[in-house]
Structure 1
Amino acid sequence: MMVAGRRFIEDLLTRLGRVREARTELEPAARVCGNDRERSVLLRKAAALE
């Protein structure tokens, strides 16, 4: 799945209160992201969901 798709799913899961699953979507998205700045944002969002 593309990074944008994972971010959409993460946002939806967060809104539904499914934080653990949202974090699970962000971590692989950060791994495959080719943009350092976007990777940093994804990792910060994942850390904030802990």
Structure 2
Amino acid sequence: MEFGIPSQTLRDRISGEIDPDDFGRETPFLEEEELGLVEITAVKARLGYGV
């Protein structure tokens, strides 16, 4: 309830009806683009900038 996850979703995950490695929708970014965003965000965090 605290995180807004439906109880049926949790039951399905625990029972194995939903693959725990399946996170839903695909990312709109290519893998290289996503890694670039992660790297840029990490650099900005080290420099003290917020996201």
Do the two structures share a fold, i.e. TM-score over 0.5? no
Give the TM-score of the pair, scaled to structure 1.
0.33
Larger RCO (CA under 8 A, 6+ residues apart): 1
Q: Which has the larger radius of gyration?
A: 2
| Bigger fraction of residues in helix | 1
